Structure 1
Amino acid sequence: MQLKKGVLIGLLPIALFSCVSPKKLREAEAKFTQLNGAYAELQGKLRDCEGNLNNANNDISRKKSEIDALNSQMEMLKQNNNVALKQLQDLSVISSSQAESIKKSLDNIGAKDLYIKDLQSEMKRKDSLNMVLVMNLKGAVGDLNDKDINIKVDKGVVFIDISDKLLFKSGSFDLTEDAKVVLGKVAKVLLNQPNIEFMVEGHTDNAPYKKNAYLIDNWDLSVKRATSVVRVLQNDYGIPPARMAAAGRGEYLPVAANDTPEGKAANRRTRIVILPQLDQFFKLLEPGGDKGVAPAGQQQ
Structure 2
Amino acid sequence: MIKRIVLGMIMLTLLSSCVSKKIYNDLENKYTDLKKENRLIADENDELHKANAEFDSVNKALMAELDMVKADRAKLQADCTATSNNLKALQDSYAALERNSNDALENNMAKNRELLTQLDSKEKSLAAEQDRLNKLNAELASNTKRLNELESMIAAKDAAMKKLKDTLSKALNAFEGKGLTVEQKNGKVYVSMENKLLFQTGSWAVGSEGRRAVVEVGKVLAQNPDITVLIEGHTDNDKILGNIGGGIESNWDLSTKRATAIVNILAENAGIKKQNLTAAGRGEFAPILSNDSPEGKAKNRRIEIILTPKLDEISKMLNEF
Task: Name the TM-score, length of structure 2 as normaliser.
Answer: 0.73
Match of 1:214 in 2: 247
Tell me the SS of whatever aligns to 1:61.
Answer: helix
**Residue aligning to 1:153:** 184
Q: 2:61 aligns with which of 66, 69, 73?
A: 73
Deviation at 1:234, TM superposition (A): 0.9
User: Contact conserved, 2:230 with 2:306, CA < 8 A, in 1?
Assistant: yes
Give the one of 282, 286, 308 matched to 1:249.
282
Give 1:81 shift: 4.2
SS at 1:143's partner residue? Answer: helix
The structural deviation recorded for 1:259 is: 1.2
3-state SS of 1:197 partner: strand
Q: What SS does structure 1 have at the residue aligned with 2:20?
A: helix
Q: What one-letter code is carried by the residue in structure 1 that aligns with 2:287?
A: P
1:88 CA drift (Å) = 5.6
1:170 aligns with 2:158: no
Distance across 2 between alignment mates of 1:245 and 1:176: 21
Change in 2 beyond 3 A, CA 1:63/1:49? same
Match in the other structure for 2:211? 180
Greater per-residue helix proportion = 2
Contact 1:158 1:273 in 2 (8 A): yes
Aligned identity (percent) is 28
Say what the alpha-carbon RMSD is for the aligned residues.
2.5
Q: Which residue of the partner structure matches residue 138 of structure 1?
A: 169
What stretches of structure 2 of length at least 5 have no aligned partner? 1-15, 82-121
Residue of structure 2 in register with 1:225 after alignment: 258
Alpha-carbon distance, 1:202 to partner: 1.0
| Count of residues in correspondence between the two structures | 262
What amino acid is the match of 2:41? L
Whether the aligned pair in 1 keeps the contact of 2:48 and 2:318 (CA below 8 Å) is no
**Aligned mates of 2:269, 2:309 — CA distance in 1:** 25
1:261–1:146: structure 2 CA closer, same or farther, 3 Å change rule? same
- Report if aligned partners of 2:236, 2:300 keep a CA contact under 8 Å in 1: yes
Is the deviation greater in 49-58 or in 264-273? Answer: 49-58
Q: Distance in 1 between matches of 2:44 and 2:72?
A: 42
Q: Is the 8 A contact 1:53 1:276 kept in 2?
A: no
- Structure with max Cα Rg: 2
- Give 4+ residue runs of structure 1 displaced > 4 Å after superposition: none
Point out the more displaced range, 75-84 or 167-176.
75-84
Unaligned runs of 5+ in 1: 1-26, 296-300
Kindly indicate whether the alpha-carbon contact (under 8 Å) linking 1:67 and 1:119 is maintained by their aligned counterparts in 2. no
Question: 1:268 Cα shift?
Answer: 0.7
Moved more, 152-161 or 79-88: 79-88
Deviation at 1:73, TM superposition (A): 2.1
Match of 1:87 among 53, 58, 75: 75
Q: C-alpha offsets along residues 271-296 of structure 1, whole Å, 9 cap, x if unaligned?
A: 1122352101022145xxx5xxxx2x
Contact 2:219 2:269 survives alignment (8 Å): no
